[in-house]
Each structure stands twice: as structure tokens, then as C-alpha cells.
Amino acid sequence: MARKQTVRGRVSKPGPALQHGKYLFIVAFLLLPVGIYGLFVVSPYVQAIFISMTDWTGLTASQKWVGFDNYVKLFADEQFLVALKNNAILLVVVPAVTVLLGLFFASMLNVGRRGKSGVEGVRGSSVYKIVYFFPQVLSVAIVGVLFKYVFAPTEAGGILNGFLRAIGLDSIALPWLGDPNFAFWCVVLVMIWSFVGFYVVLFSAAMQSIPKDIYEAALLDGANRFTTFRHVTLPLVWDTVQVGWVYLAIQAMDAFAFVHIMLGISGGPSRAGDVLGVALYRSAFNDYRFGYASALGVVLLVLTLIVAVLFLRVARRERVELS
């Protein structure tokens, strides 16, 4: 008698024709979006890299190939080094101060005191959130023009100097945007003021997802506010902090709009407030050196990618999850 064999649990594999149809469907589905992405995102990067290796004015059809000459000139340009230094200052100061202020204000607005119903924000926290977020309603152009008049060096247009003189503090009335030592730092302050409100709301949303029972337990164990923030709040919102830090770093690497509006295309007095974005714009549309400007853009792109990767790696840590 023939021996019967049964095979259980075997899953038949799809045939070659079915697999071919699956791959064809995937390719057909991705062809259009990948093509659009390549045309409008990847293609401009490739063109910029090519133009950076030419001596092109932007006004002629012909482009003279010069290889890496623009990059050699770039790193020999003292003004480029000034702009690079200012971008480095922005990269360190703006994210650090903005994140610290955002975390502090968000902590006060969400777990700032112990009320009758448990841990809650300070009184009037809902109003404070609106006040902090208000700068986000204003466009960068409006913020830049507003603070250009606030820090203007003239007595007629300088709102800050006019206020200081009105209260008898003439001695500390300075030519803010007209002084090479203060012009750039005025821009830094404005950028922090403009960004911090958004991160207060962002960190507040992350903190509201933390159960209040954890804070109650920490208070019962005798933890003070700083200890609770360090060991409870910060680990549980770290993913949000990490994303905000990287985004702030990218914004700080740009800073074109604030510097251009407040200090002009020259980057302020003695070009002391120059940044890479303004130097790129000036080289392209004021000096008509599109090849040199493209080299600046490529350097800015590479630096931004490096900064984003480094920030993600440095800020990476184990995820803390609530059970």
C-alpha cells in the first residue's frame, strides 16, 4: 500500500509572473512622485554644483568651466570667513538659548506649581501661551522691519534709544545697528525672540502627554523642581527636544531674512553681521557672480547636512517610554 504523506503549513510561493507584476506595479506607482521629486528637488542641487564650477555671470548663455577655482577663492576670501564665523555663532547660541527658554517657559506653564487638583501650570498659563506664540503670527519681514526701527541708531527712528532717553538713561543709548560690535548680536536677540514662542507650544504639547501621577510621586519622594525637571520631564520630552534642536540648527544656518532686512545686503556696518545666505545673495544679484554664489550655496548645503547629522548623533539617547 502506498504510503500517504501530508505536508502541513507549507505556503506556496508566488510564481515569477506574479512577482514580476508586483514589481511592475510598484515601479509604476513610484515613477511619477520620484520623477517629480528628482525634477524639482534633486535637479536644482545638481545644477547648482555644476554652476559652482563655472565662471558664469548669470546674464549670458555661455558658461566658462573653471573647476574648483571658485572654492579656492572662497576659502581665501576674508569676508567669507567672517560670514562663516557668524553662522557658527548662530549655530551655537540660537538653538541653545531658544531650547532652554522654551523648556523653562513650557515647564512653568504645565508643571510650574502644585495646585488643589495636583501639579499644574502657573496662574494665567493659557494667556501666557498666546502671548509667547504671538511672534509666530507675524511674518519674518514684519519682525525684521519692526526691530530695525527698535534698534535704529538715529534718535528719531530708534525706539529703544528714544525710550532710554525718555527715562533718563542716555548713557546706555547706543548706535545698536550702526555699531559693528552690536549689530550682529541685535539680530541674534531678534531671532531668539521670534523662535522661542513656537518651541514653548511644542514642548508644552509634549509635556501635557506626561501623566501627572509621575510628578505627584516625585513630589512625595521629596524631589524639588529642578530634580523633577531633570529626571522626569526632560527624559520624557527628549525626542521632541531633539527634533526642535535640529530644526533650530537649520534655521540658524540660514538667517538670511533677518540679516538682510535689519542690516541690509552688505551685512551691516563694516559687514560685521554678514552670514553665508546674505553673502550668497550679494554675490549673485549684486555682483553677478553666479558661479561664486553657487559655490557658497554648495558649501552652505554641505555644512547644513553635516550639522543635522551631528546634532542627531550627539542628541541620540535611549527612548524613555511610559508603561
Whose grid coordinates read 560690535?
181
Say what percent of the chain tops pLDDT 90.
40
Name residues whose C-beta falls within 8 Å of residue 322's C-beta, 6 or more positions apart in sequence.
210, 211, 214, 236
Taking only the tens place, the pLDDT of each residue in 102-120 is 999 988 888 766 665 566 7
pLDDT value at 6 more than 60: no
- Alpha carbon distance 64, 44 (integer Å): 19
What does the pLDDT read at residue 281? Answer: 93
What does the pLDDT read at residue 183? Answer: 93
pLDDT value at 94 more than 90: yes
Contact between 144 and 261 under an 8 Å Cβ cutoff? The reply is yes
- Alpha carbon distance 45, 38 (integer Å): 10
- Going by C-alpha positions, the residue among 103, 90, 109, 101 that lies closest to residue 240 is 103
Q: Domains of the chain, with CATH numbers? A: 16-69 (no CATH), 74-314 (1.10.3720.10)
According to DSSP, the β-strands at 118-120 and 64-65 are: unpaired
Whose grid coordinates read 535689519?
262
What does the pLDDT read at residue 99? Answer: 94
Compute the mean pLDDT over every residue in the chain, rounded to the nearest whole number.
Answer: 84
Cα dihedral 117, 119, 120, 121 sign = positive
Taking only the tens place, the pLDDT of each residue in 281-297 is 999 999 999 999 999 99
Whose grid coordinates read 553657487?
294
Taking only the tens place, the pLDDT of each residue in 8-56 is 545 555 556 555 667 777 777 888 888 999 999 899 999 999 999 999 9
What does the pLDDT read at residue 313? Answer: 80
pLDDT value at 269 more than 80: yes
Name residues whose C-beta falls within 8 Å of residue 299's C-beta, 6 or more positions apart in sequence.
71, 74, 276
Backbone angles phi, psi at 115, to 5 degrees: -100, -170
For residue 204 the three cell numbers come to 508644552
